[in-house]
Every structure is written in C-alpha cells, then in structure tokens.
Structure 1
Amino acid sequence: MSTMRNLLVAVAVTVLLAACQTTAPAPAPEKEAAWVPLVTGNSLDGWTARGSAKWRMEDGVIIGQSPGGQGHLYAAPVLQDLEVKGTFRVTSQGKDANSGLYFRANPPADNPDGYPNGYEAQICNSQDAFTGWLWKPGTPTGKASALLTKDAEWFSLRVRAVGDEITIWVNDTEVTRHRDREYKTGLFALQCHNDQMTIEAKDLYYRDLGKS
C-alpha cells in the first residue's frame, strides 16, 4: 500500500514539474494600424490649398499645376509616428518638374503660403538631390542611394517616420534612412514647386503608427 502511494506521489510530482517547465506560447505580434485613404471619392474634401498652385481631382488623381510660383496642398490628419504611401508622376511643360510629399509639416505661422515647416520626400528627377532624398525647408538632408524615377512615368513612394528615424522607399526599394529630431508632428502635403510643370498623385494612404 505504501509502495503504491509513493508511486502515485512520484507520478504526480513528475507531471507537475513537466507542466511548470512547458514553454509558454509566444505572444501574438502586434498588428499595425490599418491603412486609411487620404482621398475619399473624387473630391479634395479634407484638403487645404496654400500658395499659387491650382489643384483639382480627375478620375481619382490629384493634379497640381501653377500659373506662376509654388503652392502646397495639405491633408487633414496631424500625426507624429506615421507611414504614408502613394503613386506619383511629374511632367515638365518647360521648366524642371519639382515636387514633393511632405509629412510632419505645418504652414509657417508668419506666411501660410510659404514653404512648409516639416520634412519632404523629394520628387524631382533633374537635380543632384533627386527623388527619394529627404529635405527640410530649402535644405537636402538625407541622401538617397539612387535615382530610380523618370519624368512622365508613374512611380511609388512610401515614407515611414517613427521617432527620429525616417525611411523612404521608391518603387519598393529603400533609398533613404536618416535620423533627425527637428519636426515632431504635423500634416501631409503635396508640393507644386515650379510653373510649367504638373504633379499627379493617386492611391494615397496613411497609417498612424502612434496608436496603441
């Protein structure tokens, strides 16, 4: 009887120890926020134009042109940690086609029609600091590794900004990774830098990476 009881106790202890040593299942990875469209329908509702450029929507494509002087088109969400993507095309009608996708950007308080205070993923195929470079107002800041775009051809652009780390992809190829702390939060914006040029943008989406 004593032997049987001791055997049962030993089996119970063995089972308990095995249960304690079982590795707990790994927690499921956190899901990132869903992509949200920056354009709803075929209108520019939720966007605000500043400067001289003229903006319109045609068949789901934002088109920017300027009769003289630069302009910017701001989108509504104010974000800190973010990701934004879209498909773009620039064409020249006489002058260099120069545009950009801004993020963490705000109109200057003393001149709302001026260049935004914020970061710009450059869109320009005719200068040294070309498409994919990171710019701050008037200053090329983060160097892109290669020029992968041409005028009059559609290309994809994606930006991820988390804390001070900013990454830019052109046609799904990472071209820029840079750290900068100057601008913490702001809007998205599109730029039409010169007259005699056209910027087109479509399939614009963002996600807020600061959501818990």
Structure 2
Amino acid sequence: MKFKLLTLLLLLSLNQIASAQKENWKNLFNGKDLSGWKAVAGKATFEVKDGTIEGTAVFGTGNTFLVSEEMYTDFILEVDLKINHISSNSGIMARGQFNPDARNGQGLVYGYQIEADPTPRAWSGGIYDEARRGWFYPLDLNPAAKSAFKMGEWNTYRIEAIGNTIKTWVNGQEVAYFMDDMDAKGFIGLQVHAIQKQEDEGRKTYFRNVRIQTENLKPTSFKGDVFVVSTLKNELSDLEKKNGWKLLFDGKSSQGWKGAYKESFPEKGWTINDGELTIQKSDGSESTNFGDIVTTEKFSAFDLAFDFKITEGANSGVKYFVTLSEGNSGSAIGLEYQILDDANHPDAKQGINGNRTLASLYDLIKAEKQARFVRKPGEWNQGRVVVYPDNKVEHYINGVKVVEYVRGSQEYRDLVAISKYKIWKNFGEAAEGHILLQDHGDEVHYKNIKIKVLK
C-alpha cells in the first residue's frame, strides 16, 4: 500500500511539473495567420498553410526575415523547421537587430543567427553573427553534431539565450555553446535565404510550433565535452571548468609566464591592461627588443585556445613544443601557429605556397582558409591548436579547421627537410614543451588564453 501511495505521489508530482512547463510556454505563432510578425529586408514571401509558416524563395532579392514584433531578452525558444532542397539555407535569429535605413532603405537584419544548413558542410545549429562579425560557432568545433539535422524532415531547434550565454540543440543533440555580450535584447526571426539560381525560385522553408519561455528560466546543462567559444575576457564557463579547462592568462597578472631564456617576466614591452596581454610595437624585428614570453609549465597533448587582435601589417606567432634547449639567437624554436596580416605583411608571400600565412604551421603547412572566415586587423580572431595524444595536430581560425598533420610522420619530416627548420634535429618532435607568444616587433593583443590537457 505504501509503495502504491509513493508511486501515486510521484506521478502527481511529474504531472504537476509537466503542467507547469506547458503553462510556461507561450506560442509565438497561432497556426492561423502571421499576427505578431512582419517580413523585413528582402522580398521572399511568407504565408500560413495548414498550421505551418511557408517561406518562399524569390530570385534577385537578399536574405528575407519574418521577425517578431516583440523584443526579448532572456528566453528559451523552440522551433520546428523543415528544408527540402540544398539551396534553401535558413536560420533562426535570436535577439536579432534591424536597421531600416541600411542598404538604401531596404533594411538590414543583423545579429545572432542559429544556422539551418542543408549542404554537405552540415553546420546546422551553429552560430553565425549575421551581417556583422561572421561565424563564431561553425560545426568544425563539434563534428558529432553534424548528423543531427535531417533534410526533408521536421527538425526541432532549441535555443537558450540566458544572460551572456547562447546554447543550441538540434533534435536533442547538443550543438553550440557561445558566450558573448554584444546584444542583450532583440527579436526572434525566421530566415528565407537569398538564392543564387533563378531555377531555385519557389523553393520553400517551413516553420511550425514556434514557442518561447521568458519567465522562471532554468538553463539546461550540456552533458557532453562540447567546446565553448567566448568573446568575454578571461572567463571560463562552468562547463569548461567541469571538463578540465584552465586559464593560462588570468587577465590581471603575468602569473604563469616568463621571458624566454629568462627567469622572470619582461620588465618592458609586454603590458597587461583591461584584461588584455599586449606586446608593444618596436622596430618589426624578431625577438630582439622586448623578447618572447613562454609558459612556466610544459605541455604534451593539449587543446589550446586563444584570442588575438593584430594591428595593420603585424606579425607574431603562438609556438608550441618550445624546449628552450637549442641555445639559438632570436625567437625560441618551436612549432608555430602563424599570426599575420596576410594582406599587408610581406611574409605572407614568402615561404612555399603560402605556408607563412595566418593560421599556417609556419614554413611547413599552409592554412587552407577562406578570407570570409578571417576578421580584419583591429578585430578579435579566435585561434586554436589541438595536439592529440597520438600526435595528430589541428589548427583552427574562428572555429574553422585549416591545418591537420601528424608530428613525426614521414610526411611531416619531409616538410621539415625543405624548411628553415631542417638544421634542427628532430624539430617539433619533443615529448613536451612550453607555449610561446612571440615578440616580432609589432603590436598584437591576446586574451582568453586557455588550455585543456588531453589524455
């Protein structure tokens, strides 16, 4: 009898929770018409059929958005979305913004967009800063989520925008985790993307069950080991702390760093202000003015992330597996993630086939990147180097993987043999080494330098 009573109480409790959650949802689409919504920025059309919003592509117009008339700050949003054709790229704006005067009065939608990507690239659920800063969370950062979106089927998107954190799910799959403080309030928007071919005019994107929570919000914790992208200054999320990340730069002091070949941090040249670690401009020469700095700790297998901001024409680098044992003059020897203004520094045209350009493995492997994924001088870029326990190495720029190689492989050694590093025995194959930030005589800023040891 007691067991039956406990079971009954548990069922009642679960029903109450389910009822409370149901009551907490507000439908943004009534299933009958577009009350509370308006189309902006393009000429694609939206209409309601059988309880579904149908967005229809129109050739010769820009991206079109059906946006909510109400603005939202913190919320949990769920939307069902369906795409039937590869041309029908779409997305959902979260805290979207609109400038009605832009584009000669046609208007411009910009801000956080959660991607719906039917192409083989498969970045659905990733986060793109529409018409502003570009990609922040492409799914190169979370390859396991690429299979979540289903072409020709209804896909349930969940977006949690709470405080400075945006998290996304597609069909229950954890996708993106992004921390940013640019927009605290904005509209919800449903996109019909511009099309490139007239033959694709009339293709449709479908939306239904658009629902939102704005009160008594309870953020959902990510359970997986998902990479976190943050534009904030030197803050780790709870998820990162849980998964073993730590800051290499605390934003306030030089703790954990020293001058290369020195016992202490340089007295001049390197400054710490407003959460940024900056090397001042000198004469453009390599490591002959204020000097490189290195971590006091050594690392073997790791995931290293860092934000950098270059000035026009600047040159620098982040090196890894730096042993400080070569006794050379100039910059300490190590594998280098190149930091460079490709458009305005001559080093971009030297080396072999572009292997000295931004994000490349310097003088060895060219970073295969597109210009649209790189932010210009004066803007922050996110760099990342992953060294796996099996010696596979990856370079990323703004979340896009641009270099992949295996330390110590024959292919790698063949590249070293025709590089400037051929004079160093077993170059880049040390079991462990320091992380280095280079002084190349140009002003470069760093923040959010964080690392996770891989086992």
| TM-score w.r.t. length of structure 1 | 0.77
Equivalent residues, number = 180
Sequence identity percentage: 24
2:214 aligned with 1:208: yes
Alignment partners' CA distance in 2, 1:143 and 1:209: 30
Equivalents in 1 of 2:64, 2:106: separation in Å?
A: 7
Q: Is the 8 A contact 1:52 1:71 kept in 2?
A: yes
**Which runs of 5 or more residues in structure 2 are unaligned?**
1-19, 218-455
Distance 1:207 1:81 in 2: 9
How far apart are residue 209 of structure 1 and its match?
A: 4.1
User: Offset of 1:97 from its aligned partner?
Assistant: 1.7
* Correspondence list, 1:43-192, <5 A: 43-50=33-40, 51-68=42-59, 69=61, 70-92=63-85, 96-111=87-102, 113-126=106-119, 128=121, 130-138=123-131, 139-144=134-139, 145=142, 146-147=145-146, 148-192=148-192
3-state SS of the aligned residue for 2:84?
strand
Q: Which amino acid aligns with 2:208?
A: K
2:32 paired residue among 39, 42, 45: 42
The farther-off stretch of 42-51 and 143-152 is: 143-152
CA offset digits 1:93-125 (Å, max 9, x no partner): xx6220001110121242364442221110012
Show CA shifts across 1:140-187 (max 9, x none): 112342211132121110100111111000001111111111111110
Q: Distance in 2 between matches of 1:41 and 1:204?
A: 9
Given that 1:80 and 1:210 are in contact with CA atoms closer than 8 Å, whether structure 2 keeps it comes out as: no
Task: Name the SS of the counterpart of 2:71 in structure 1.
Answer: strand
Q: Is the 8 A contact 2:100 2:106 kept in 1?
A: no
2:24 match: secondary structure: coil
Determine the C-alpha separation between the residues in 1 that align with 2:163 and 2:106: 28
2: CA distance between counterparts of 1:166 and 1:194? 25
Distance in structure 2 (CA, Å) of the matches to 1:142 and 1:110: 29
Change (3 A) 1:142 1:115: farther
**1:41 Cα deviation after fit:** 4.0
| Alpha-carbon distance change, 47 to 60 in structure 1, aligned in 2, over 3 angstroms | same
User: Given the superposition, is the C-alpha separation of residues 87 and 41 from structure 1 closer, same or farther in structure 2, using an over 3 Å criterion?
Assistant: closer
Residue 194 in structure 1 maps to residue 194 in structure 2: yes
Please state how far the C-alpha of 1:90 moved relative to its aligned partner: 0.9
In structure 2, what is the Cα distance between the partners aligned to 1:101 and 1:113? Answer: 20
Query: By how many angstroms is 1:210 displaced?
Result: 7.6
The secondary structure found in structure 2 opposite 1:116 is strand
**Does the CA-based 8 Å contact 2:100-2:108 persist in structure 1?**
no
Aligned residue identity for 1:189: G
Query: Which structure's residues are more often strand, by fraction?
Result: 1
Cα pair 2:100 2:107 within 8 Å, conserved: no
Q: Are 2:31 and 2:48, in contact at CA under 8 Å, matched by a contact in 1?
A: no
Corresponding residue for 2:330? none
* Inter-partner Cα distance in structure 1 for 2:80 and 2:24: 18
